[in-house]
A = this chain, B = another copy of it.
Amino acid sequence: MDIARITIAPSTASQVHDWLRKRVQRGDLPPGMRISETEVAAAIGISRQPVREAFIRLASDGLAEVRPQRGTYISRISVSAVLSARFIREAVEADLARAVAEAGPRDMLDRMADEIARQHRADEAGNVEEFIDSDDRFHHLLAQAAGQDAVWADLERLKAQMNRLRHLSMRVFDRSFTIGQHQAILDALRQGDPDAAEAAMRTHLRQMLAEVPQMAAAQPDCFTD
């Protein structure tokens, strides 16, 4: 018999937190926007307390900023935070790529190829959300192939800022370029060439170095630093 999977009903505060976090990451709630405990509570039809606790969690995620007695605001995207998260991602995923090139299970590589195919379809269909999700799964599969699934979970926290930026940039930049880089990484992994895999990954993730200042210059209200 399987272990019964018990699911407890999530608290109101937790649900509000999830709801807000998704809306912030999708850019539905734009950077700099003011949100109010009272307003959100009235809109949902609950008291202020659960909303307040959701705000606290949102602030812990770095997605909101609570200024006492002044108001709560959706965080602007910190350029330096994005760049340092990018630095960390490059270092980590370079090591992951090396590890997989040296001893990666073949079936995981096949699954990565599947994701690239999905990215082609999402690109042609103009489905930005699906493209971003598949992009994430591609990199997640790399971590799993290296036997470091937990590492990806840790990176998720750092990716919070990058995700918001990506929802802006994906409508602007060339997605087929991204797909080509994914393919280059996978090719190197398949050939079992650690140096090539690392180089391809670093090239891929350094793409952001040029894009971030460009995005920040185009929409200065959304950014800080």
A interface list, Cβ under 8 A from B: 8, 11, 53, 56-57, 60-61, 68, 80-81, 83-85, 87-88, 90-92, 94-95, 148, 150-151, 153-155, 157-158
- Would you call A88 and B56 a contact (CB within 8 A)? no
A82, closest chain B residue (CB):
B150
CB distance from A199 to the nearest CB of B (A): 14
Contacts of A92 in B (CB 8 A): 87-88, 91-92
> Is B150 a contact of A80 with CB atoms below 8 Å?
yes
| Chain B residue with the shortest CB-CB distance to A61 | B60
Known: A53-B56, A56-B53, A57-B56. A154 touches B68 (CB 8 A): no
The chain B residue with its CB closest to the CB of A9 is B68
Question: How many Å lie between the Cα of A53 and that of B158 in the bound state?
Answer: 23
CB distance from A147 to the nearest CB of B (A): 10
10 smallest beta-carbon distances between A and B, as pairs: A60-B60, A84-B150, A91-B91, A91-B95, A91-B92, A84-B151, A80-B150, A88-B92, A87-B151, A84-B154
Nearest B residue to A225 via CB reads: B150
The smallest beta-carbon distance between A59 and chain B, in angstroms, is 9
Q: Which B residues lie within 8 Å of A88 (CB)?
A: 88, 92, 151, 154-155
Q: Report the minimum CB–CB distance from A117 to chain B (whole Å).
A: 29
- Chain B residues near A91 (CB-CB < 8 A): 91-92, 94-95
* Known contacts A53-B53, A150-B80: A95-B90 contact under CB 8 Å: yes
Please indicate the chain B residues that have their CB under 8 angstroms from the CB of A60 in the complex: 57, 60-61
Residues from chain B with a CB closer than 8 A to the CB of A150 are 80-81, 83-84
Contacts of A85 in B (CB 8 A): 154
